[in-house]
A and B are shown apart, each in its own frame.
Chain A
Amino acid sequence: MATRKETPSTPTAPMASTSPGATLDSPVKQIQIEGLVVLKMIKHYQEEGQGSEVVQGVLLGLVVEDRLEITNCFPFPQHTEDDADFDEVQYQMEMMRSLRHVNIDHLHVGWYQSTYYGSFVSRALLDSQFSYQHAIEESVVLIYDPIKTAQGSLSLKAYRLTPKLMEICKEKDFSAEGLKKALIGFEHMFEEVPIVIENSHLINVLMWELEEKCTVADKHELLNLSSSNHLEKSLQLLMDRVDDMSQDIVKYNTYSRNLSKQQQQKHQYIQRRQQENAQRQTRGETPLPEEDVSKMFKPPQPPPRMDTLLIAGQINNYCQNVKEFTSQNLGKLFMAEALQGHNS
C-alpha cells in the first residue's frame, strides 16, 4: 500500500473537482482533521521536502458515521537510491505497533502527499489511491500544497476515486471501449471531499496561550500584490501538459487514420476476392477459399485512453488553480487602486 516517490513531471490523470457538497454518493461525506495532523504535515514538508520533491505519509484515524476523522499521521521516509532494501511495509508495521502502545489510533485511513504547484494527478497516485480504497473503503488522499500555503492560506484538499473509476481500475480495462462504456470524463475521476478542522479543548487552550505568549505578527502574505512568478511557473507546467496532450491527440489521430485505411484495404480485398470468385465460377473452376480476412489485416492497437484522461484532468486542475489565483489577485489590485486613488 505504500507509494514510491514519483517525479512531478509526469502527471497524467484528469482531475475531477466536483463542488463540495454536490452529490457525493460515497460513504464519506466529510473529513475532520485535527490541528495536530495539519501541523505535522506542514513540518514534514518544511524539513524534508524542499524543492520539487514530494513528501508522503500515512494518515491514521477512524470512521464515525459518515465522517472520516483523521487524528494522527506519520511521515514516510524518502525513497533514496541507497536504501534499496528498505522495507516500507516493515517501517509502517513497526510504526503502527508502537503508536498503538501509546493509545494513538492505529487504523489506516489514507495517506497524504505534498504537491508542486498542483501537479499531482498521475498514474502512481491513481494506483496508490486505488489500492488504498480497495482495501479500506473510506480512505482518502490529502493533497497539501505548500507553495499555495506560503502565499497566505492553508491549501489542503482531500480526494477519493469515484465509484465508476474504481470499477474500471478493478477490471484493469483501460482501453477506449472500456472507458467509453463507463462514460468516464476527466471530471469523474476524483471527487473532492470537504474538510473541516477540529481541535480538542485542550489544544484550544494551548492556542490561546500561544497567542498570548507570542503574538506572531501577521505578515500579510495574502495581500501580496506580486503575481508574475507564480503565474509563470503555473503556466509553464500547463504548457508542458498541453504539449503532452497534443502529442496524445496526434497519436490518436494517426491511429484512427490507420484504422480507416485498413478498413478500406479490407473492403478492397474482399471485393477483389469476390470478383475473382465470380470469374472463376464463370470459367467453371473451384472458387478460392474464403480466407480469414481479419487475420490478414490485423487492426492497429488503439492508443491507451487512460493517459489522455489523466493529462486532461491535470490540465483541468492547473486551470482551476490559475483561475483561483487570478481572481484573488484581481481583488487585491482593485484594493490597491482604491488605496492609491484615495491618496492622490
Chain B
Amino acid sequence: MVAVRPLGIDSEASSDPLQIKLYELPAAAQMSVYGPVVKIHPVVLASIGDSYERRNEGASRVIGTLLGTIDKHSVEVTNCFSVPHNESEDEVAVDMEFAKNMYDLHKRVSPSEVIVGWYATGFEITEHSVLIHEYYSREATNPIHLTMDTALQSGKMNIRAYVSAQMGVPGKTVGVMFTPLSVKYKYYDTERIGVDLLQRTRDAPNTTNGLTSDLCQVGGAAGRVQDMLATVLTYIEDVLSGKQMADNSVGRYLMDLVNKVPKITAEDFETMLNSNINDLLMVTYLSNLTQAQIALNEKIVVL
C-alpha cells in the first residue's frame, strides 16, 4: 500500500550526469501501529465539525466524548457528543456531570455503545489534553484520543488518533506520550449513499442540493458510468498510440470488465428481457388500476 518511489543514486547511468535520487515516502503513509486500528464513521466527523462551529465565544477548541464498540484489534467509533469545558492558560475544567448524563441518555438509545475515548479540535496536543485524557482513562480502558484540525492550520483537516503510553525512566520522572494510530473510515452501505449525496453539495456554489427522483437517478448513475468509461477509453487510446506504457494489471482488469457482459444468445436474451419488461408493465398497470379504483371509491362514497 505504501508506494515507495525509489530515487537513489543511479550508478548505472551511462552518459547521463549523476542524478541524485532520494527515497521518499508519500505523505499518506501512516506510521506506528501500536494499538488498535481506529475505524471512524462519517457521522462522528460531521458531528465534531458541527460542534466546533457552535462553540462558545472565546473557546478555541471543543472537546467531547467518543462512543463506539471495541473489538480485539480495532475500535469502531460510531457516535459522539460534545462536552462543555473551559480552558485557560493554567487550568482546565470539564463538565463531567454533563458528560455522564449525556452518556446515560445515549445509552438508552443504543445500549451497545460504550465510551471509547474523546476528541478535541485543534492541531496540537496540549498539557491540558493529558489531564483530560487521564479523566477519560477512568471511564474507559485505554481511551483513544482523536484530533481534528478544524481551523485548518496546515491546510488540511488532519484527522488523527492517539493512544497514550507511559514513557520515561521508571521510578524517576514518568511522562505520557501519545502514540499515533492508523485511522480508517468505515461506512455502512446506506451511509455511503448518504455521503455520496452530501458530496454533491460541495460542488454547488451555494451549497444546497435537492433530492432527485426516479429516472433522474438512473440517468445520473449511467452518466457516472459513462464518465468512468471515457477515462478508461482515453487511457487505452494513449497506450495504443504509445503515449503511455501499458500496465499489465490494468490490462487484466479491462479484460475482466469486457468479459463481465454475459454472452447470451440473442433469442434467450430477448425472452429474458421481454418477460422482465412484461412483469414490470403488468405491475405498473395494476397499480394504476388500483389508484383509479380508490379514487372512484372515494367519489362514490361522497355522493
**Interface residues of A, Cβ cutoff 8 Å to B:** 14, 32, 34-36, 38-40, 42-48, 71-72, 74-77, 86, 91, 94-95, 98, 101-104, 146, 149-150, 152-154, 156, 176, 180, 183, 185-186, 194-211, 213-214, 216, 218-223, 227-228, 231, 235, 238, 242, 245, 249, 252, 305, 308, 312, 315-316, 318-320, 322-324, 326-333, 335-337, 339-340, 343-344
9 contacts between A and B (CB under 8 A): A42-B188, A91-B105, A153-B211, A207-B201, A216-B192, A223-B222, A327-B215, A328-B217, A330-B277
Known: A98-B98, A200-B50. 14 other contacts (CB 8 A): A36-B46, A196-B208, A196-B210, A197-B211, A199-B201, A199-B202, A200-B49, A202-B52, A205-B157, A227-B280, A249-B297, A312-B297, A312-B298, A333-B273
Q: How far is the CB of A337 from chain B (nearest CB, A)?
A: 6
Q: Which residues of B, 46-105, contact A by the 8 Å Cβ criterion?
A: 46-47, 49-56, 78-79, 81-84, 95, 98, 101-102, 105
Cα distance A104–B301 in the bound complex, in angstroms: 49
- Does B244 reach chain A (CB closer than 8 Å)? no
Cα distance A338–B263 in the bound complex, in angstroms: 14
Asked if residues B188 and A207 are in contact (CB atoms below 8 Å), the reply is no
Cα distance A38–B194 in the bound complex, in angstroms: 7
Cα distance A204–B208 in the bound complex, in angstroms: 11
Asked if residues A323 and B284 are in contact (CB atoms below 8 Å), the reply is yes
What residues of B have a CB within 8 angstroms of the CB of A42 in the complex?
43, 188, 190-191, 194
Asked if residues A319 and B54 are in contact (CB atoms below 8 Å), the reply is no
Asked if residues A203 and B291 are in contact (CB atoms below 8 Å), the reply is no
Tell which of A40, A210, A221 has the most Cβ of chain B within 10 Å: A210
Q: How far is the CB of A67 from chain B (nearest CB, A)?
A: 10
Q: How far is the CB of A266 from chain B (nearest CB, A)?
A: 22
Asked if residues B290 and A332 are in contact (CB atoms below 8 Å), the reply is no
Asked if residues A103 and B193 are in contact (CB atoms below 8 Å), the reply is no
> Chain B, 263-280, contact with A by CB distance < 8 Å: what is the 0/1 string?
110100100010011011
Cα distance A44–B95 in the bound complex, in angstroms: 26
Q: How far is the CB of A215 from chain B (nearest CB, A)?
A: 11
Q: How far is the CB of A103 from chain B (nearest CB, A)?
A: 4
Cα distance A121–B39 in the bound complex, in angstroms: 38
Number of inter-chain CB pairs below 8 Å: 261
Q: Which residues of B, 248-303, contact A by the 8 Å Cβ criterion?
A: 261, 263-264, 266, 269, 273, 276-277, 279-281, 283-284, 286-288, 290-291, 294-295, 297-298, 301-302
> What count of chain B residues pass the 8 Å CB interface test?
92
Chain B residue nearest to A97 (CB atoms) is: B101
Given contacts A39-B191, A198-B208, A235-B283, contact A204 B202 (CB under 8 A): yes
Q: How far is the CB of A152 from chain B (nearest CB, A)?
A: 7
- Does B126 reach chain A (CB closer than 8 Å)? no
What residues of B have a CB within 8 angstroms of the CB of A323 in the complex?
284, 287-288
Asked if residues B201 and A340 are in contact (CB atoms below 8 Å), the reply is no
Cα distance A218–B227 in the bound complex, in angstroms: 13
Cα distance A237–B159 in the bound complex, in angstroms: 46
Chain B residue nearest to A321 (CB atoms) is: B287
Tell which of B110, B112, B280, B281 has the most Cβ of chain A within 10 Å: B280
Chain A residue nearest to B84 (CB atoms) is: A101
What residues of A have a CB within 8 angstroms of the CB of B225 in the complex?
220, 223
Asked if residues B222 and A216 are in contact (CB atoms below 8 Å), the reply is no
Asked if residues B208 and A231 are in contact (CB atoms below 8 Å), the reply is no
- Does B156 reach chain A (CB closer than 8 Å)? yes
Cα distance A20–B98 in the bound complex, in angstroms: 42
Asked if residues B217 and A46 are in contact (CB atoms below 8 Å), the reply is no
Asked if residues A223 and B221 are in contact (CB atoms below 8 Å), the reply is yes
What residues of A have a CB within 8 angstroms of the CB of B194 in the complex?
35, 38-39, 42, 149, 154
What residues of B have a CB within 8 angstroms of the CB of A322 in the complex?
283-284, 287
Asked if residues A98 and B266 are in contact (CB atoms below 8 Å), the reply is no
What residues of B have a CB within 8 angstroms of the CB of A205 in the complex?
152, 157
Q: How far is the CB of B216 from chain A (nearest CB, A)?
A: 9
Tell which of B43, B82, B102 has the most Cβ of chain A within 10 Å: B43
Chain B residue nearest to A314 (CB atoms) is: B294
Asked if residues B152 and A150 are in contact (CB atoms below 8 Å), the reply is no
Asked if residues B218 and A222 are in contact (CB atoms below 8 Å), the reply is yes
Cα distance A38–B50 in the bound complex, in angstroms: 13
What residues of A have a CB within 8 angstroms of the CB of B221 in the complex?
152, 220, 222-223
Q: How far is the CB of B187 from chain A (nearest CB, A)?
A: 6
What residues of B have a CB within 8 angstroms of the CB of A331 in the complex?
215, 218-219
Given contacts A210-B42, A315-B290, A333-B276, contact A102 B108 (CB under 8 A): no
Given contacts A207-B202, A315-B290, contact A344 B209 (CB under 8 A): no
Asked if residues A36 and B110 are in contact (CB atoms below 8 Å), the reply is no
Chain A residue nearest to B191 (CB atoms) is: A42
Cα distance A198–B200 in the bound complex, in angstroms: 10
- Does B207 reach chain A (CB closer than 8 Å)? yes
Among A149, A245, A252, A333, contact of B294 (Cβ-Cβ < 8 Å): A245
Chain A residue nearest to B64 (CB atoms) is: A102
Q: Which residues of B, 176-195, contact A by the 8 Å Cβ criterion?
A: 184-185, 187-195
Chain A residue nearest to B198 (CB atoms) is: A35
